[in-house]
């Protein structure tokens, strides 16, 4: 049996955990959520959170993905205490460790060719067996090895996995986990093909162990999809003679339909959420709840620091966590509604710009803050402010069908003309000024207030629904846009 770590942390004061993303894509929500759990655990125990970039897959790793991962973690507030460390810069360390396993007889060179492996797989498949390497080069004599080398074969290095081995560990989330050596696919490749005088590029399951040992990792917290890797890695710890960390396998994030969340579900990369107008505070809060609940399960809104105080693996679920858009949206709206208005304005500016509005912050800041104040409480996501505020920014905005229909009703043109002429002699600064003007026109035209309000809304905002009318009017007035719109609306009304 492999030394099974206790569910009780042996040395909680020196907790060192890590997030180890592979830069083969943008920061994914699953990786980000794993980072959240690591961060919470580290901060709960006053430990260290380490960032390691697993970029050994040279073909698929790209610097722009690394940058996206660093930026994404930073955006979410998941600050790391050490790193980023790059595996690509640590090859010598791994090769030394491979050599150690070759020397101790835990690893060996395997000369089986790709063709031979394909044939083996095909014959296993034909017999309905799971594909596995049959360990055929495990016990080659030096003469046999020499003969294979003379054929020009280039070997990989494999790590021996005894079929009879039982592998058991106490997972911090899943409790006792059991694996059999025979379920691990035969002796595993730990280094790629290279001439027998060299050591080829060491591979994932091996370098992870070397790094976790070298970096003094005390708990490996990662997604449930790594359970089989853990079984293999435990054997490597043992062969290297290193002490074994605790393991915590966190539940996967599932689509709303309960399937594994994939690219097909649309949004999976963290910056997609940013572009959709989710706040980082809401995102981390939501991700914390994806698979964990606080001791007071009625509490849904908290900061990372607050969650860290009460975080433990006892309250992490084993079952997959379904992604719930409604909950994320609700949380996001709460965070938006609680923002200080200057902060909200800062965050809205990029979304207004994205909607195509020209923003001159130096001259418009007070006006922009008033716009933010007007719409902030109705926003669920920041990006909604683009369409919601278009009537305030876009001088070329056309009238909606419903607005046009209303404007063309009988009696609307005289009302708007009366508004326009009264407006010319009015200093429109406060809400009261607008209310007084509306009252004056209602009286002078002998119409219902409702008609004046609806006509004004149609004329000023180009639509029949939207944020508060009087506030909108004051904002349009500051830009001189109310008179222009009234004139346009009168022209439409009269063209009926």
- Interacting stretch for ligand GLU, rule CB under 6 A, among 15-23, 170-178, 277-285, 325-333? 15-23
- Of residues 363-392, those binding ligand GLU (CB under 6 A): none
Distances (CA, A) of 304 to 14, 222, 414, 448, 451: 20, 18, 58, 54, 51
Pick the closest to residue 120 from 141, 135, 139, 140 (CA basis).
135
Q: What angle do helix axes 63-76 and 280-289 make, rounded to 10 degrees?
A: 90
For the bound state, the minimum distance from the C-beta of residue 206 to ligand GLU, rounded and expressed in Å, comes to 12
Task: In whole angstroms, give the CA distance from residue 401 to residue 468.
Answer: 20
Token representation of residue 225: 């999809």
For the bound state, the minimum distance from the C-beta of residue 252 to ligand GLU, rounded and expressed in Å, comes to 12
Token representation of residue 9: 């942390």
- Residues touching ligand GLU: how many (CB under 6 A)? 7
Token representation of residue 473: 């009017």
For the bound state, the minimum distance from the C-beta of residue 290 to ligand GLU, rounded and expressed in Å, comes to 17
For the bound state, the minimum distance from the C-beta of residue 34 to ligand GLU, rounded and expressed in Å, comes to 7
In this complex, which beta carbon is closest to ligand GLU, that of residue 21 or of residue 291?
21
Phi-psi region at 356: left, alpha or beta (left = phi > 0; alpha = psi -120 to 50): left
Asked if 354 is an active-site residue, the reply is no
For the bound state, the minimum distance from the C-beta of residue 211 to ligand GLU, rounded and expressed in Å, comes to 9
CB atoms within 10 A of CB 425: 7
In this complex, which beta carbon is closest to ligand GLU, that of residue 199 or of residue 252?
252
Backbone phi, then psi, for 428, in 5-degree steps?
-90, 100
In this complex, which beta carbon is closest to ligand GLU, that of residue 87 or of residue 472?
87
Token representation of residue 451: 């008609």
In this complex, which beta carbon is closest to ligand GLU, that of residue 54 or of residue 281?
54
The secondary element (H helix, E strand) that includes residue 371 is helix 361-375
In this complex, which beta carbon is closest to ligand GLU, that of residue 25 or of residue 414?
25
- Interacting stretch for ligand GLU, rule CB under 6 A, among 18-26, 194-202, 286-294, 349-357? 18-26
By CB under 6 A, residue 173 contacts ligand GLU:
no
Task: In whole angstroms, give the CA distance from residue 133 to residue 75.
Answer: 44
By CB under 6 A, residue 54 contacts ligand GLU:
yes
Instruction: Give the contacts of 296 (CB within 8 A, at least 6 positions apart).
Output: none
In this complex, which beta carbon is closest to ligand GLU, that of residue 189 or of residue 389?
189
Task: In whole angstroms, give the CA distance from residue 475 to residue 470.
Answer: 9
Spatial contact of 47 and 17, defined as CB atoms under 8 Å apart: yes
- Of residues 269-308, those binding ligand GLU (CB under 6 A): none
Task: In whole angstroms, give the CA distance from residue 395 to residue 415.
Answer: 23
- Which of residues 76, 107, 207, 208 is near ligand GLU by CB under 6 A? 208
Backbone phi, then psi, for 172, in 5-degree steps?
-65, -20
- Which of residues 222, 274, 390, 454 is near ligand GLU by CB under 6 A? 222
By CB under 6 A, residue 202 contacts ligand GLU:
no
- Interacting stretch for ligand GLU, rule CB under 6 A, among 14-22, 102-110, 298-306, 332-340? 14-22
Task: In whole angstroms, give the CA distance from residue 54 to residue 114.
Answer: 26
For the bound state, the minimum distance from the C-beta of residue 237 to ligand GLU, rounded and expressed in Å, comes to 13
Instruction: Give the contacts of 139 (CB within 8 A, at least 6 positions apart).
Output: none
- Which of residues 20, 97, 207, 328 is near ligand GLU by CB under 6 A? 20
- Indicate the length of the chain as a whole number: 496
By CB under 6 A, residue 22 contacts ligand GLU:
yes
By CB under 6 A, residue 21 contacts ligand GLU:
yes
SS (H, E, C) 259-310: CECCHHHCCCEHHHHHHCCCCHHHHHHHHHHCCECCCCCCCCCCCHHHHHHH
Q: Which of 260, 263, 431, 484 is catalytic?
A: 263
For the bound state, the minimum distance from the C-beta of residue 33 to ligand GLU, rounded and expressed in Å, comes to 12
In this complex, which beta carbon is closest to ligand GLU, that of residue 31 or of residue 333?
31
For the bound state, the minimum distance from the C-beta of residue 219 to ligand GLU, rounded and expressed in Å, comes to 11
In this complex, which beta carbon is closest to ligand GLU, that of residue 62 or of residue 327?
62
Spatial contact of 458 and 377, defined as CB atoms under 8 Å apart: no
By CB under 6 A, residue 245 contacts ligand GLU:
no
- Interacting stretch for ligand GLU, rule CB under 6 A, among 19-27, 297-305, 337-345, 409-417? 19-27
Say if residue 393 is exposed, middle or buried (CB neighbours under 10 Å; 0-12, 13-18, 19+): buried
Interacting residue ranges for ligand GLU, rule: CB under 6 A? 20-22, 54, 208, 222, 226
Which positions are annotated as active-site residues? 263
């Amino acid at each position: 049996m492999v030394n099974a770590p206790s569910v009780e942390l042996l040395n909680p004061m020196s907790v060192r955990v890590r997030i180890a993303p592979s830069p083969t894509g943008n920061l994914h929500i699953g990786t980000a959520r794993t980072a959240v759990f690591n961060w919470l655990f580290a901060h709960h125990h006053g430990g260290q959170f380490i960032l390691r970039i697993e970029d050994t897959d040279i073909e698929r790793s790209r610097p722009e993905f690394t940058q996206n991962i660093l930026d994404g973690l930073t955006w979410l507030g998941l600050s790391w205490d050490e790193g980023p460390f790059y595996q690509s810069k640590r090859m010598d360390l791994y090769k030394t460790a491979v050599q150690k396993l070759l020397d101790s007889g835990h690893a060996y060179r395997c000369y089986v060719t790709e063709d031979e492996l394909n044939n083996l797989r095909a014959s296993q498949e034909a017999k309905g067996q799971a594909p596995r390497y049959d360990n055929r080069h495990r016990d080659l004599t030096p003469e046999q090895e020499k003969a294979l080398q003379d054929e020009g074969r280039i070997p990989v290095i494999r790590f021996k996995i005894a079929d009879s081995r039982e592998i058991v560990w106490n997972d911090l989330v899943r409790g006792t986990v059991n694996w059999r050596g025979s379920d691990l696919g035969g002796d595993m490749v730990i280094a790629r093909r290279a001439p027998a005088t060299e050591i080829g590029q060491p591979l994932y399951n091996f370098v992870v162990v070397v790094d976790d040992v070298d970096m003094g990792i005390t708990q490996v917290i990662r997604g449930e999809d790594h359970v089989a890797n853990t079984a293999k890695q435990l054997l490597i710890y043992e062969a290297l003679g290193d002490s074994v960390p605790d393991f915590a396998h966190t539940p996967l994030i599932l689509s709303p339909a309960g399937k594994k969340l994939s690219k097909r579900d649309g949004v999976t990369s963290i910056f997609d959420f940013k572009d959709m107008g989710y706040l980082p505070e809401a995102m981390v809060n939501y991700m914390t709840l994806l698979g964990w609940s606080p001791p007071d399960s009625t509490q849904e809104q908290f900061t990372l620091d607050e969650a860290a105080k009460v975080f433990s693996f006892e309250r992490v679920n084993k079952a997959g966590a379904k992604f719930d858009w409604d909950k994320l949206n609700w949380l996001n709206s709460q965070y938006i509604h609680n923002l200080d208005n200057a902060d909200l304005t800062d965050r809205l500016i990029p979304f207004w710009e994205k909607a195509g509005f020209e923003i001159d912050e130096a001259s418009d800041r007070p006006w922009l803050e008033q716009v933010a104040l007007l719409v902030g409480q109705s926003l669920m996501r920041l990006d909604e402010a683009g369409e919601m505020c278009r009537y305030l920014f876009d001088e070329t905005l056309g009238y909606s069908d419903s607005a046009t229909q209303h404007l063309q009703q009988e009696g609307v043109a005289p009302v708007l003309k009366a508004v326009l002429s009264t407006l010319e002699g009015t200093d429109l600064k406060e809400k009261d000024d607008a209310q007084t003007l509306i009252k004056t026109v209602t009286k002078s035209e002998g119409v219902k207030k409702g008609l004046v309000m609806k006509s004004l809304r149609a004329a000023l905002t180009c639509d029949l629904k939207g944020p508060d009318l009087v506030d909108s009017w004051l904002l349009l007035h500051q830009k001189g846009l109310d008179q222009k719109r009234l004139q346009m609306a009168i022209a439409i009304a009269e063209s009926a």
